[in-house]
Amino acid sequence: MSLAFDEFGRPFIILREQEGKTRVTGTEAVKGSIHAAKSVARILKSSMGPKGMDKMLQSPDGDVTITNDGATILEMMEVENQIGKLMVELSKSQDHEIGDGTTGVVVTAGALLEHAEALIDMGLHPLRIAEGYEWACKVATQNLDNIKSTFSFSPSDIEPLVKTCTTTLSSKVVGRLKEQMAQICVKAVLSVAELARRDVNLDLIKVEGKVGGTMEDTRLVQGIVIDKEFSHPQMPKELKNVKIAILTCPFEPPKPKTKHKVSFGTTKDKMLVIEGCPNTNAVTIFVRGGNKMVLDEIKRSLHDALCVTRNLVRDNAIVYGGGASEISCALAVEEAANKVVDVEQYAMRAFADALESIPIALAENSGLPPIESVTAVKKRQLEEKNPHLGIDCNETGTNDMREQNIFEAVASKKSQLFLATQVCKMILKIDDIIKPSEVQ
């Protein structure tokens, strides 16, 4: 493709090998992009919440993965559409920045684009919609600052961190052991954290696994676990105050000096454990599982929980989950839209409607009537001025997320809103798609 000018100085595009390319322009191009993004978001929608469904994915070499982690699902889907790949990158960005909320950010972006399509059909220009979304995003993030809560914690009082961590784990395969796993993750993070600087180096936390045993056998080791056997059965089982030689070349038996070998759970699997090194605070979470698929999913779940705990050490501000913060932000955006006189007010109202897609998905995946459940909570939030009311996914009998101890990090919610808005703006600005024809 190249740009040329006619005798009046007006530019026009010259397509080389035009017969071998297809071109879509204008509203048709925008709608095509929206449909591609919506298709990706629709796949993840059923995986949201504590009762979300898992996906089974098979790689080209036959390996099977079962997971409900948004970033993992999209990474293994091998999306070919370029707009679909933007949604994959969106999920990766959330995973890289926060470590949690990878499903929510894609579902939010899909809902924003779905409502944008209706506005385009009404005649609104895509850029005016994008601008309205930007305004609404600022209002929503400001509202998060207004409704957030903070909590204090210390190495001797980890309960607040554990409660927030259990929210992340409640939708994972380790849900029935979320309390135990949350305590392991919190203790691991605090072992390597520099609380004075509010900094955490997750590279010092190693998540190691071995097939066998049960999830209950998962434990935290204050050191390093290595899957190695002794070179001779008569070697001592425990050594103290030893010096360890680290070699970067092949070394045949006898093996280097080691410390001791322990059994985990009721199995006979034995591992090499190195503990008590004075110059490092590295720790290992040793995971057990019945098979490799379960083991890998537990590792992914613990990764999310470690990232959430790290974020809370850096910033201990939280909002309440169960869709409570999304409904509160939707109400704030609707109120702000009433003060806008330009056409952006329609985009802001669409943004508010899109935010409700999260609590709707939570209710739907929990077997509750989605519209009725969200409407009832929204009404109560308005009447009681209580931003802590959300969807009772676990049917405990109360919609107050404070009583259910369901928290989420403010940093995660802000990142979801910001990244979803930015990718929507990017997609809405595409009005010309030129690609090679599928049939040459």
Q: What pLDDT does residue 53 have? A: 87
Question: Does residue 6 sit within a domain?
Answer: no
Query: What size, in residues, is the chain?
Result: 440
- Tell me the C-alpha distance between 286 and 181, whole Å: 11
- Respond yes or no: is residue 218 known to be catalytic: no
Asked if residue 277 and residue 172 are part of one domain, the reply reads: yes
Q: What pLDDT does residue 14 have? A: 65
Q: Which two three-digit tokens encode residue 438?
A: 């599928």
Q: What pLDDT does residue 17 have? A: 59
- Respond yes or no: is residue 145 known to be catalytic: no
Asked if residue 347 and residue 262 are part of one domain, the reply reads: no
What is the count of structural domains for the chain?
2
* Active-site hit among 67, 103, 164, 421: 103
Write down which residue in 289, 315, 341 finishes a domain.
Answer: 315
Asked if residue 134 and residue 69 are part of one domain, the reply reads: yes
Phi-psi region of 427 (alpha: psi -120 to 50; beta: other; left: phi over 0): alpha
Asked if residue 333 and residue 311 are part of one domain, the reply reads: no
- Tell me the C-alpha distance between 85 and 75, whole Å: 9
Amino acid in the structure at residue 189: V
Asked if residue 192 and residue 71 are part of one domain, the reply reads: no
Distance between the two ends of the chain, CA-based, in angstroms?
18
- Respond yes or no: is residue 102 known to be catalytic: yes
Beta-bridged to residue 331, according to DSSP, are: none
pLDDT string in tens for the chain (440-residue length): 566 676 777 776 666 655 556 767 777 888 888 888 888 888 888 888 888 888 888 888 888 888 888 888 888 887 778 888 888 888 888 888 788 888 889 999 999 999 999 999 888 888 999 999 999 999 999 999 999 888 778 778 888 788 878 877 877 778 788 888 888 988 888 888 888 888 888 888 888 888 888 888 888 888 888 777 776 777 787 888 888 777 788 766 655 555 554 444 445 567 778 887 777 788 889 888 888 888 888 888 888 888 888 888 888 888 888 889 999 999 999 999 998 888 889 999 999 999 999 999 999 988 889 899 999 999 998 888 888 898 988 888 888 888 888 888 888 899 999 999 999 998 888 877 777 665 44
Instruction: Check: CB of residue 169 under 8 Å from CB of residue 435.
Output: no
Question: Does residue 398 sit within a domain?
Answer: no
* Active-site hit among 304, 309, 392, 421: 304
Centre a 10 Å sphere on the Cβ of residue 418 and count the other Cβ atoms it contains.
18
Question: Does residue 3 sit within a domain?
Answer: no
Q: What is the CATH number of the domain that holds 331?
A: 1.10.560.10
Widest pairwise Cα distance in the chain: 93
Q: What pLDDT does residue 166 have? A: 83
Q: Which residues contact 143 (CB under 8 A, 6 or more apart)?
A: 328, 329, 332, 333
Asked if residue 170 and residue 114 are part of one domain, the reply reads: no
Question: Does residue 257 sit within a domain?
Answer: yes
Q: What pLDDT does residue 256 have? A: 53
Question: Does residue 124 sit within a domain?
Answer: yes
Asked if residue 211 and residue 345 are part of one domain, the reply reads: no
Q: Give the global pTM.
A: 0.80
Q: Which two three-digit tokens encode residue 339?
A: 């003060």
Asked if residue 260 and residue 233 are part of one domain, the reply reads: yes
Q: What pLDDT does residue 173 have? A: 77
Instruction: Check: CB of residue 390 under 8 Å from CB of residue 401.
Output: yes
Look up the domain containing 290 and give its range. 159-315
Asked if residue 289 and residue 187 are part of one domain, the reply reads: yes
Q: What pLDDT does residue 336 have? A: 92
Question: Does residue 247 sit within a domain?
Answer: yes
* Active-site hit among 102, 164, 167, 421: 102
Write down which residue in 285, 315, 345 finishes a domain.
Answer: 315
Question: Does residue 400 sit within a domain?
Answer: no
238 three-class SS: strand
Asked if residue 419 and residue 308 are part of one domain, the reply reads: no
Q: What pLDDT does residue 372 have? A: 92
Write down which residue in 294, 315, 336 finishes a domain.
Answer: 315
Asked if residue 284 and residue 167 are part of one domain, the reply reads: yes
Q: What is the CATH number of the domain that holds 289?
A: 3.30.260.10
Scored b (16 or more CB within 10 A) or e, 312-340 reads bbeebbbbbbbbbbbbbbbbbbbebbeeb
Asked if residue 176 and residue 294 are part of one domain, the reply reads: yes
Question: Does residue 116 sit within a domain?
Answer: yes
- Respond yes or no: is residue 267 known to be catalytic: no
Q: What pLDDT does residue 310 have? A: 87
* Active-site hit among 67, 69, 95, 218: 69
